């Protein structure tokens, strides 16, 4: 279903972005156990202050890092960012034409690019967890890290961002230029994120938080062993709908000569 | 791959827009035999690339059908592309690759062995050292050469080349033409789309001319040229009479030349040339100039008028169906504007060679 020659070329084409991006994610994620340890030390120095809030446990601290705006940007670049420019970018540069002149069906090309997006999602999730473990070791808090929950956190992270990667390929296959595909995908992610953030402190929006996909992604629950299967189902359904659209629309599109 | 049809289209139509208001192709009928070097002419926007893209499955026909190497362009698109080499107009490459990496990548995607890479590289003067450099450092001509190599290197049964000479210098253009003639001699088929009329005339056996999405001519190059008008310029001693009444003679102009002569200029269909010369001889023919028709003139006779009057190919009136069996009908349309340059094979014919000229015209 996927073409390995094309897949290798895609990875090669994105190797710098992937390499640098993943390194930044590792560095970023290792900060959170260190921050956690610093907060704990600070609280120990101030025994009068209650130990609540986002930095009260290592799991909560890691969770903050997972859905921090910087993380959203990094994760987005390394998952949806790979797919959103895949087809439309090749089309805009004029290289899609030669690719399509090879004996590859459009579905094969699409599937290969989609797999690359999912690989990016899996890698970025892995990098975050790897950085977290590294940070926990640096901070000396590995005893508080629920190692047995890390695979499920990785899987959910990969699924969550793989879903956005699928939306990215769906928009990419629907347009001849990267700008509208990028705009729609970024707007979709931003909309979901803003609903979740605003709903957390504004009562009017709070009832609609469930509409945000971010509302269903709760790393702290995953790390604390409270796995919500419905979240995976939601992410899977959204990804499936996006994939169906992509596999429907791209093979049927007329690809006129690039401008 | 000879004799069988390499490309066949039946009323191939491609319209864009919700109500099909943009008519990119309308009922195009083509038959290209295996082993043929077929020229496909038309200016930008005439429908050349649309035809090619439909043949390769990039565009879906609105109506009609097409087959390539006996395979349906809609159902068997992948198999067609396995057997076709393609060079698009405005060829683009992955800039982060070297020339060699790009060629290896494209060959690997095609799933076929490289049979002709060294031959094509040699012909186009591409060295290994050049191929090691990143493509982003290449000039436009170098990129085009890479495009030619990727299209030809697997020795495909059919080559579809869209403006292959773009960016190549005249020497390389000639090398490319020789390469294509080699492939045709080896039994391959070449579909050669271009707006460079001279090169189509030089190497192609048959040519189709598209205009406003319609096929307006489909003939051998020789036939197209034969039925075009000749421009005749003569010097006579006496003012001729009734020249304009001759069938097939158009735009007769008579002007005094010196003290005792007249300059006659007109256009004539090839069949009318002998009669015209006879008439001129009776007026004391002293000098005669006949411009042989070129493919460019044939092309301009299909394009010249409307281009100058409207400035846009797409808005041409519905003037022409395929003139496969009636090339003369096409020639009868008035030609008010002619290509100012590139007149082919201008011949000054001394009076004593008139008889020979007559025979040629016949």
Interface contact A6-B79, CB threshold 8 A? no
Picking from A3, A104, A255, the nearest residue to B59 by CB comes out as A255
Between CA B361 and CA B217 the distance in angstroms is 22
Q: The complex's ipTM?
A: 0.86
pTM here is: 0.80
pLDDT score at B231: 83
pLDDT score at B331: 38
Q: Between the CA atoms of B159, B161, B166 and B170, what dihedral angle is there, to the nearest 10 degrees?
A: 50
Q: Which of B189, B224, B259 corresponds to the end of one domain?
A: B224
Picking from A93, A100, A104, the nearest residue to B92 by CB comes out as A93
Flag whether A258 is in a domain: no
pLDDT score at B314: 29
Flag whether A17 is in a domain: yes
Between CA A23 and CA A62 the distance in angstroms is 17
pLDDT score at B298: 66
Flag whether B12 is in a domain: yes
Flag whether B319 is in a domain: no
Distance in Å, alpha carbon of A242 to nearest chain B alpha carbon: 23
The contacts of residue A132 (CB under 8 Å, 6+ apart) are: A29, A30, A32, A33, A62, A65, A145, A150
pLDDT score at B21: 83
Same domain assignment for residues B163 and B249: no
- How confident is the prediction for chain A on average, in pLDDT? 91
The contacts of residue B353 (CB under 8 Å, 6+ apart) are: none
B88 touches chain A (CB under 8 A): yes
Question: Nearest Cα to A82, choosing from A31, A142, A10?
Answer: A10
Residue A150 pLDDT grade (very low, low, confident, very high; cuts 50, 70, 90):
very high
Distance in Å, alpha carbon of A253 to nearest chain B alpha carbon: 8
Same domain assignment for residues B52 and B152: yes
B60 contacts on A by Cβ (under 8 Å): 252, 254
Residue of B nearest to A258 (CA): B90
Same domain assignment for residues B341 and B287: yes
pLDDT score at A103: 96
Flag whether A68 is in a domain: yes
Distance in Å, alpha carbon of A177 to nearest chain B alpha carbon: 16
Q: Indicate which CATH number applies to the domain containing B265.
A: 3.30.70
Structure tokens at B89: 């107009």
Mean pLDDT of A184-193: 95
Residue of B nearest to A14 (CA): B96
Between CA A247 and CA A106 the distance in angstroms is 9
Flag whether B303 is in a domain: no
Same domain assignment for residues B273 and B212: no
pLDDT score at A200: 85
pLDDT score at B223: 76
pLDDT score at B336: 33
Helix (H) or strand (E) holding B269: none
Residue of B nearest to A2 (CA): B109
Residue of A nearest to B87 (CA): A98
B150 contacts on A by Cβ (under 8 Å): 98
Same domain assignment for residues B247 and B131: no
pLDDT score at B2: 52
Interface contact A104-B84, CB threshold 8 A? no
Between CA A152 and CA A135 the distance in angstroms is 19
Q: Residues B272, B275, B277, B279: is their CA dihedral positive or negative?
A: negative
Picking from A94, A100, A103, the nearest residue to B110 by CB comes out as A103
A243 pLDDT more than 90: yes
Same domain assignment for residues B9 and B150: yes
Same domain assignment for residues B119 and B9: yes
Same domain assignment for residues B236 and B216: no
Burial of A108 (C-beta count, 10 Å sphere; 0-12/13-18/19+): middle
pLDDT score at A259: 60
Flag whether A236 is in a domain: yes
Same domain assignment for residues B215 and B265: no
A258 contacts on B by Cβ (under 8 Å): 90, 92
Report strand pairing: B206-211 vs B262-268: unpaired
Q: Indicate which CATH number applies to the domain containing B154.
A: 3.40.50.300
Q: Which of B181, B198, B224 corresponds to the end of one domain?
A: B224
The full DSSP string for B306-362 is HHHHHS-GGG--S-----SS-HHHHHTS------SS----EEEE-GGGHHHHHHHH-
What pLDDT, in 10s, does the model give residues A151-166? 999 999 999 999 999 9
Same domain assignment for residues B18 and B72: yes
Flag whether B47 is in a domain: yes
Interface contact B53-A94, CB threshold 8 A? no
pLDDT score at A135: 94
Residue A221, domain extent: 4-252
Same domain assignment for residues B34 and B67: yes
Helix (H) or strand (E) holding B278: helix B273-281
- Give CA B136 to chain center in angstroms: 32
Domain count, chain B: 2
Q: Which residue has the higher pLDDT, B31 or A200?
A: B31
Q: Residues A115, A119, A122, A125: is their CA dihedral positive or negative?
A: negative
Residue A83 pLDDT grade (very low, low, confident, very high; cuts 50, 70, 90):
very high
B338 touches chain A (CB under 8 A): no
pLDDT score at B293: 65
Same domain assignment for residues B139 and B238: no
| Placement of tokens 């100012």 in the chain | B340
Report strand pairing: B206-211 vs B189-194: unpaired
A47 pLDDT more than 80: no
B58 contacts on A by Cβ (under 8 Å): 97, 100, 254-256
Structure tokens at A46: 């101030």
What is the SS3 string spanning chain A?
A: CCCHHHHHHHHHHCHHHHHHHHHHHHHHHHHHHHHHHHHHHHHHHCCCCCCCCCCCCHHHHHHHHHCCHHHHHHHHHHCHHHHHCHHHHHHHHCCHHHHHCCCCCHHHHHHHHHHHHHHHHHHHHHHHHHHHHHHHHHHCCHHHCCHHHHHHHHHHHHHHHHHHHHHHHHHHCCCCCHHHHHHHHHHHHHHHHHHHHHHCCCCCCHHHHHHCHHHHCCHHHHHCCCCCHHHHHHHHHHHHHHHHHHHHHHHHCCCCCCC
**Taking an 8 Å Cβ-Cβ cutoff, which residues of chain A contact chain B?**
3, 5-6, 9, 12-13, 93-95, 97-105, 252, 254-258
Flag whether B324 is in a domain: no
Mean pLDDT of A209-234: 91
Flag whether A257 is in a domain: no
Distance in Å, alpha carbon of B100 to nearest chain A alpha carbon: 14
Q: B217 near B330, Cβ under 8 Å?
A: yes
Residue B125, domain extent: 5-224
Flag whether B254 is in a domain: yes
Low-confidence ranges of chain B (pLDDT < 70): 1-3, 225-228, 292-362
Distance in Å, alpha carbon of A97 to nearest chain B alpha carbon: 7
Domain count, chain A: 1
Flag whether B308 is in a domain: no
A74 pLDDT more than 70: yes
Structure tokens at B311: 């400035």
A21 pLDDT more than 60: yes
SS3 at position B35? coil
Q: Which of B203, B224, B245 corresponds to the end of one domain?
A: B224
A94 contacts on B by Cβ (under 8 Å): 88, 90-92
Q: Over the range B37-66, which residues count as b (16 or more CB within 10 Å of their CB) and which as e?
A: bbbbbbeebbbbbbbbbbbbbbbbbbebeb
pLDDT score at B349: 44
Flag whether A259 is in a domain: no
Flag whether B247 is in a domain: yes
């Amino acid at each position: 279903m996927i073409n390995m020659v094309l897949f290798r070329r895609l990875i090669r084409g994105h190797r710098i972005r992937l390499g640098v991006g993943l390194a930044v994610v590792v560095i970023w994620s290792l900060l959170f156990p260190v921050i956690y340890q610093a907060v704990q030390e600070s609280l120990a120095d101030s025994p009068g202050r209650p130990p609540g809030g986002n930095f009260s446990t290592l799991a909560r601290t890691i969770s903050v890092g997972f859905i921090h705006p910087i993380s959203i940007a990094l994760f987005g670049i390394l998952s949806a960012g790979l797919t959103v420019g895949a087809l439309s970018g090749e089309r805009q540069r004029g290289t899609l034409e030669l690719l399509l002149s090879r004996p590859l069906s459009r579905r094969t090309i699409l599937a290969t690019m989609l797999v690359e997006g999912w690989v990016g999602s899996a890698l970025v999730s892995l990098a975050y967890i790897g950085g977290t473990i590294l940070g926990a070791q640096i901070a000396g808090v590995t005893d508080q890290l629920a190692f047995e929950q890390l695979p499920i956190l990785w899987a959910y992270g990969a699924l969550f961002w793989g879903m956005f990667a699928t939306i990215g390929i769906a928009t990419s296959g629907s347009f001849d230029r990267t700008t509208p595909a990028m705009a729609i995908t970024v707007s979709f992610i931003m909309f979901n994120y803003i609903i979740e953030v605003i709903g957390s402190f504004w009562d009017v929006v709070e009832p609609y938080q469930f509409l945000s996909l971010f509302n269903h992604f709760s790393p702290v629950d995953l790390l604390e062993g409270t796995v919500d299967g419905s979240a995976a189902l939601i992410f899977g359904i959204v990804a499936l709908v996006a994939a169906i659209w992509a596999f429907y629309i791209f093979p049927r599109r007329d690809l006129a000569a690039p401008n | 791959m000879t004799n069988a049809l390499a490309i066949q289209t039946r009323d191939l139509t491609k319209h864009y827009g919700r109500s099909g208001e943009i008519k990119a192709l309308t009922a195009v009928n083509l038959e290209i035999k295996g082993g043929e070097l077929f020229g496909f002419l038309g200016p930008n926007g005439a429908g050349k690339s649309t035809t090619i893209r439909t043949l390769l499955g990039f565009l879906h026909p609105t109506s009609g059908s097409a087959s390539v190497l006996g395979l349906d362009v809609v159902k068997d698109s992948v198999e067609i592309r396995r057997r076709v080499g393609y060079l698009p107009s405005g060829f683009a490459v992955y800039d982060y690759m070297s020339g060699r990496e790009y060629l290896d990548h494209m060959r690997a995607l095609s799933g076929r062995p490289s049979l002709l890479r060294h031959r094509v590289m040699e012909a186009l003067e591409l060295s290994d050292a050049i191929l090691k450099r990143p493509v982003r450092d290449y000039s436009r001509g170098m990129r085009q050469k890479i495009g030619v190599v990727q299209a030809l290197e697997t020795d495909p049964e059919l080559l579809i080349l869209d403006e292959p000479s773009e960016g190549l210098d005249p020497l390389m253009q000639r090398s490319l033409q020789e390469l294509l003639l080699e492939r045709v001699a080896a039994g391959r088929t070449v579909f050669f789309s271009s707006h460079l009329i001279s090169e189509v005339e030089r190497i192609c056996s048959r040519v189709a001319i598209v205009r406003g999405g319609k096929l307006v001519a489909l003939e051998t190059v020789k036939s197209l040229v034969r039925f075009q008008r000749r421009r005749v310029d003569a010097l006579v001693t006496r003012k001729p009479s009734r020249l304009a009444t001759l069938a097939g003679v158009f735009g007769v102009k008579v002007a005094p030349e010196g003290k005792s002569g007249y300059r006659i200029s007109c256009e004539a269909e090839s069949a009318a040339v002998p009669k015209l010369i006879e008439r001129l001889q009776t007026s004391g023919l002293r000098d005669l100039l006949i411009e042989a028709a070129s493919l460019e003139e044939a092309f301009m006779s299909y394009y010249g008028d409307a281009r100058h009057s409207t400035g846009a190919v797409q808005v041409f009136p519905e003037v022409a169906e395929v003139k496969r069996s009636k090339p003369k009908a096409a020639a009868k349309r008035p030609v008010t504007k002619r290509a100012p340059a590139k007149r082919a094979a201008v011949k000054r014919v001394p009076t004593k060679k008139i008889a020979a000229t007559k025979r040629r015209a016949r």
